[in-house]
Amino acid sequence: MRKCLLSNSDALFNEISKNAKLYIPVDLEKGRVAYKEYTEGLKMSDALKTDRSAKDFFFPQTETLMAFKTQGKNIEVIDNRAESEDFVVFGVRACDVKSLEVLDKVFLAEPVDSYYQNRREHGIIVSMACSRPSETCFCQTFGIDASSPQGDIACYKTNDAFYLEGLTEKGKALLEKLDGVTEECCSCEVEGEKAKIKEILDKLPLKDLKADAFGKDKTDEFFNRPEWKTLSESCLGCGTCTFVCPTCQCYDIKDFKTKTGVERFRCWDSCMYSDFTKMSAGQPRLSQLERFRQRFMHKLVYFPTNNDGMFSCVGCGRCVAKCPISMNIVKVMKTLGGKEND
């Protein structure tokens, strides 16, 4: 365990950024919080979490995949990928760290997505324990401990210091480079901080939310439930929930013409949109009810069925906070989850 006084945090961040690009959560205008590349003097936000998760570093909202240069009937395929620089994302909460495990199941399964894989290999995650979990948090529902985050390095923030613990080979290697701005210490302060966090977690309004009724091989049980109609009636199909979600992985691929040829790019897509998965034969999900059901069945049933019981939700609470009509996965679980969620 290593310790760095908060008064010396600039020295810590400067040392990290000597070897890799460093990104920290920063306060923006209108209460927004986002990751920004660290420059000397940049102040780290005290907010619980960023508006959008660390997913963006590994699966960006838009990215160019390749280009095609045409000359007459000749087509040249240009692989415009470059090796990613090493980078460090500091202050990732436990729920968002877990979301990367969900994305790994998708993008690192065969055939491996080499764009995502490359970023995962170059990225280092410094997680941060949640000293002030909010009322919209329900990570405990999915077995995540906000007081003991995973990642490459786990960080605990007290009133006067950061406490850093290397969890992976990448994390331990980075900590060794920080000897000059950190000092060896015992874990007693960290244990006290964990106890405080657990006390808060036990008082959250969603602490008793259960996912036990859902999971693998439950399609027949939930697919035709009549409650889907009532639940979906107010849905706007805006896609806000999917764009703030740290585990959503749907994307579209398109080509656009340039002066020199064609570029192919991919961008995030949303199962809540009316043209999602639209094909020449038509739209397989014609109603908002079907699209609404698809989103939550995927989170709670389809994904765990295909991934050894792992849910595609980490209880970060972003959809609870951001949905303009207050319809979210918590309401779905409470409505369909039986007496345990009454």
pLDDT in tens, 69-126: 888 788 889 887 777 789 999 999 999 999 999 999 999 999 999 999 999 999 999 9
Using the structure block, give the residue that is written with the tokens 């280092």: 124
pLDDT of residue 245: 96
pLDDT digits (tens, 9 = 90+) for 200-227: 999 999 999 999 999 999 999 999 999 9
157-179 average pLDDT score: 95
Residue pair 152/97 in contact (Cβ under 8 Å)? The answer is no
- Provide the token pair at 196: 């405080």
State yes or no: pLDDT of 319 exceeds 90.
yes
Are 52 and 96 in contact by the 8 Å Cβ rule? The answer is: no
pLDDT band at 282 (very low <50, low <70, confident <90, very high): low
Q: Which residues pair with 306 in a beta bridge?
A: none
- Residue 203 has, within 13 A of its CA and on its CB side, a CA count of 8
pLDDT tens across 123-158, in order?
999 999 998 899 999 999 999 999 999 999 999 999
Report d(CA 276, CA 269) in Å as an integer.
7
Distance of alpha carbon 163 from the chain centroid = 23
Q: What is the pTM (predicted TM-score) of this model?
A: 0.91
Q: What is the pLDDT of residue 287?
A: 86
Report the chain's mean pLDDT, rounded to a whole number.
92
Quote the pLDDT of residue 280. Answer: 65
Q: Give DSSP secondary structure letters for 268-329.
A: E--TTSTTTT-BTTB-S--SHHHHHHHHHHIIIIIHHHHTTT--S-----HHHHH-TT---H
CA-closest candidate to residue 231, choices 337, 77, 339? 337
